[in-house]
Amino acid sequence: MISAVLLIVIALTGILLVHQDDLKTIQTSRVPLSVLPGHYDTRLEQTRSRQGTSELFAGEDSVPMRWVILDLHTGEFFGKYGPWFYDILAIMMAVLGTTGIVMYFKIRKNSII
Amino acid sequence: MLKKSFLIALTILGLVIVSCSSHEKNPEGETFGSGVTLASAVAVSDVFTQVDELNGKVIRVKGTIEDLCKHKGCWMQVKEGDQILTVRFKDEAFTLPASAIGRSVDFEGLLIAEKISNPLGTHAACAEAGNHEGGGACESERAEESIKKASDMRYTMISTGLVLI
């Protein structure tokens, strides 16, 4: 069930990322930090520190929607181990796909015989 | 039934993407981020000449992209003569394609002009320039130049949106 939900999330975020230049909402919308995992606070702080805008936008506690979509797609949304979990999921999907193809040809061959 | 649902979902998704398409249909150019909202734009050269007046304000600027961050596309440099205006995209909310170099750009954002002092200090700067043996002043023109550059003004714009023309 978890795998299926994540696959849907990966597929949908993939489509959104490919079309991010066409979808203005992705470039202009922001997601409040209160609904996001704690590591987004650190990341926002680091980004603003790099840009020299920490003091300028101190009261703006939200991140661009693009960050969230990209992270949901790569697994970084779930923290440090998120991408590893996605890797395992990807390997599982590749194995399932391969065994599916093998089974298809085996069943086809048996039905011909 | 499943096939029908899939086709309906695909059609809806396609329609959403087409209807939300921002930069393809804009006759003025390709819009990134929030685009531009201010009525009039100033030239890059005017930013440098009117810096006292414009510093700390949200302004609209027109120029040509000289360079941009090729890895992420999260900053660009707009040049005019010897002056370079560095433009960062607020919170890296949007990126530009590498093909944008050399194109005209109309962007909007907050101008920050600040005098930067050499964070390493005089001795370190001289040492970095390669001609300082410690204790005294810089021992070459090149080293002195490095300090002069390090104490120049830095002009940065934090952009919320732009239009590539």
Using pLDDT thresholds of 50, 70 and 90, give the confidence band for residue A68. very high
B120 part of a folded domain: yes
B94 part of a folded domain: yes
Residue B63 CA from chain centroid, whole number: 11
Q: Between B13, B17, B93, which is nearest A27 by CB?
A: B93
Residue B11 CA from chain centroid, whole number: 37
Best of B6, B72, B91, B160 to disrupt the A interface by mutation (most A CBs within 10 Å)?
Answer: B91
Contacts of A56 in chain B (CB under 8 A): 110, 112, 158
Give pLDDT, residue B26: 59
Instruction: Report CB contact under 8 Å: B21, A22.
Output: yes
Phi/psi at B164 (nearest 5 deg)? -85, 125
The pLDDT tens digits of the residues spanning B69-118 come to: 877 667 888 887 777 788 888 888 888 888 888 888 889 998 888 776 65
Q: Is B156 on the interface with A (CB under 8 A)?
A: yes
Contacts of A44 in chain B (CB under 8 A): 91
Query: Per the structure, how many domains does chain B have?
Result: 1
What distance in Å separates the CA atoms of residue A30 and residue B139, rounded to the nearest whole number?
52
Give pLDDT, residue B165: 84
Q: Phi/psi zone of residue A32: left (φ > 0), alpha (ψ -120 to 50 degrees), beta?
A: beta
Three-state SS at A62: strand
| Chain A: closest CA distance from residue B123 (Å) | 25
Instruction: Report CB contact under 8 Å: A51, B22.
Output: no
| CATH number reported for the structural domain that contains residue B61 in this entry | 2.40.50.140
B117 part of a folded domain: yes
Chain A to chain B, count of Cβ pairs less than 8 Å apart?
A: 64
Q: Are the C-beta atoms of B157 and B112 separated by less than 8 Å?
A: yes
Q: Are the C-beta atoms of B101 and B136 separated by less than 8 Å?
A: no
Instruction: Report CB contact under 8 Å: A56, B158.
Output: yes
B102 part of a folded domain: yes
Best of A17, A20, A24 to disrupt the B interface by mutation (most B CBs within 10 Å)?
Answer: A24
Percentage of chain B exceeding pLDDT 90: 1
- Residue that has been written with the tokens 């249909």 in this structure: B25
Closest CA to B75 of B90, B87, B63: B87
The pLDDT tens digits of the residues spanning A14-65 come to: 998 888 877 878 888 899 999 999 899 998 998 888 888 888 888 888 999 9
Q: Between A30, A47, A57, which is nearest B92 by CB?
A: A47
Q: Are the C-beta atoms of A32 and A84 separated by less than 8 Å?
A: no
Q: Residue A29 has which token pair?
A: 């919308």
Instruction: Report CB contact under 8 Å: A27, B158.
Output: no
Q: Between B32, B93, B110, which is nearest A64 by CB?
A: B93
Residue with more model confidence, A13 or B119: A13
Contacts of B110 in chain A (CB under 8 A): 56
B114 part of a folded domain: yes
B18 part of a folded domain: no
DSSP line for B22-91: -TTT-TT-EEEET----S--EEHHHHHHTHHHHTTSEEEEEEEEEEE-TTT--EEEEEETTEEEEEEEGG
Using pLDDT thresholds of 50, 70 and 90, give the confidence band for residue B149. low
E-strand spans in chain A?
30-32, 62-64
Instruction: Report CB contact under 8 Å: A23, B33.
Output: no
B10 part of a folded domain: no
- Mean pLDDT across chain A, nearest whole number? 88
Domain that holds residue B43: 25-164
User: Model ipTM?
Assistant: 0.71
Name the pairing type of β-strands B42-43 and B104-115.
unpaired
Furthest-apart CA atoms within chain A: distance in Å: 75
Is the pLDDT at A94 greater than 70, yes or no?
Answer: yes
Using pLDDT thresholds of 50, 70 and 90, give the confidence band for residue A99. very high
| Chain A: closest CA distance from residue B11 (Å) | 14
What distance in Å separates the CA atoms of residue B78 and residue B159, rounded to the nearest whole number?
12
Closest CA to A24 of B65, B160, B97: B160
B118 part of a folded domain: yes
Residue with more model confidence, B146 or B79: B79
